[in-house]
Amino acid sequence: MAGIRERARAELTGEIVRLARVQIEQEGAANLSLRAIARDLGMVSSAIYRYFASRDELLTRLIIDSYERVGEAVEQADAGVRRRSDFLARWRAMCGALRDWAVANPSEYSLIFGTPVPGYAAPPDTIGPAIRYLVVLIALLVEMEAAGHSQPAKVPAALRHDYAIFREKFEVPASDGMLMNGMIAWANVMGAISLELFGHLHNVVDSPGALYEAVVDVHGRQLLSGTTSAVRTSKRP
């Protein structure tokens, strides 16, 4: 009997999550409502709180699920490149998987990479899933540098401080220059996806996929050469 109840609870929890994603897609994450989901399920509003204690708890579940799925997609893309020393192929594969996932799941991409939901503060248990896809990228940077694909780079003092804290937290054996180049590449890749999904390329670029591939290729080759665009120091925080 207990097994039947557990299965029934799991099925209803899954349906709540599914309806929440539909609601976010149609109305935005800021308008997520447990009461509205309860109405869709034909439940009294108080009953849904047996499954999720608050809107924020449901949002956290959605956010963690999305991070886990994009992380898995990037991991699988990297693992699919048999020649592990072909760093450019691995970089292209993981970046391609990232965009493919984003294009297929635009509302989920917006939830985790778009404007923060007003009044919501992500709990610590989102951190692991949130960096899952980045762990793959950082591992690639470390392997690139170990294979000799690194050159001294002028790194601003503020970033050297940030990277020292980063290394202390995550024990990443990469130089400041490699971390800076990798993060510049990451920022441009994510920026290209956001420009496409948030509609900023309309009337500018008719082939966003081609633009994205060019961005990925340029930065992949820069990582391999150990160079990147000039970085100017600034007094701004």
Question: CB under 8 Å to 90, separation ≥6 — which residues?
Answer: 78, 81, 84, 140
From CA 150, how far away is CA 177, in angstroms rounded? 8
Q: What is the pLDDT of residues 130-169, one digit of tens each?
A: 999 999 999 999 999 999 998 777 899 999 999 999 988 8
Residue 85 DSSP symbol: T
Closest CA to 223 of 151, 168, 174, 159: 151
Q: Find the angle CA(164)-CA(167)-CA(125) to the nearest 5 degrees.
A: 120
Residue 227: its pLDDT value, please? 63
Amino acid 55 reads R
With beta carbons less than 8 A apart as the criterion, state whether 220 and 186 touch. no
From CA 152, how far away is CA 163, in angstroms rounded? 15
pLDDT, mean of each 10-residue run, the chain (237 residues): 76 94 94 93 90 95 97 98 97 98 96 94 94 95 92 87 90 92 95 95 92 96 74 40
Q: At 40, list the tokens.
A: 């869709």
Q: At 121, list the tokens.
A: 């503060």
From CA 101, how far away is CA 50, in angstroms rounded? 32
With beta carbons less than 8 A apart as the criterion, state whether 142 and 173 touch. yes
Residue 3: its pLDDT value, please? 75
Residue 6: its pLDDT value, please? 82
Residue 126: its pLDDT value, please? 96
